[in-house]
Amino acid sequence: MALSVIEVSSTSTQQFIDITDRVEEVVRKSGVRNGICFLYVPHTTAGITINENADPSVVRDIMETLERLVPVNGRYRHLEGNAHAHIKSSILGHSVCVLIEEGRLGLGTWQGVFFCEFDGPRRRKVLVKIIREQ
């Protein structure tokens, strides 16, 4: 299958953006009924995660916890001012895989796919590769 690109524009320095519907659209257009959806973020200060998208307080809790663990104004050696963003993106990771079942993402009832911005606002990409089950 061909590589698809989802473009994401963040509006804040740190932001979780629910891209579930956009990923579902890529899956629908692929025509794949069963397989794997591989999502990859090719940026060192952004990441991707799957978590609850029904209650926005979950995202706020995650962001606040990451900020306590890795504060923006911590004592870092990287002098560009975005060391916290590199660390946060490493903690969350740059890729996720989701099963495709019957033409839909195999997410749980409350799950969504989030692009995680830590050094915005910026225009970013999420690379999507759909692999058909043999």
The DSSP line for 23-86 is HHHHHHHHT-SSEEEEEE---TTEEEEEEE-S-HHHHHHHHHHHHHHS-TT---S-TTS-HHHH
pLDDT (0 to 100) of residue 1: 66
- For each successive 10 residues of the chain (134 residues), what is the average pLDDT? 93 98 98 97 98 97 98 94 97 98 97 98 98 92
- Residues 23 and 39: beta-carbon distance below 8 Å: yes
pLDDT (0 to 100) of residue 63: 98
Q: Looking at this protein, which amino acid is placed at residue 117?
A: E
Q: Looking at this protein, which amino acid is placed at residue 39?
A: L
pLDDT (0 to 100) of residue 129: 98
Residue 4 in tokens? 């698809």
The residue written with tokens 């590199």 in the block is 86
pLDDT (0 to 100) of residue 134: 83
* Domains of the chain as residue ranges with CATH: 3-132 (2.60.120.460)
Per residue in 9-38, is it b (16+ CB within 10 Å) or e — as a string?
ebeeebbbbebbebbbebbeebebeebebb
pLDDT (0 to 100) of residue 29: 97
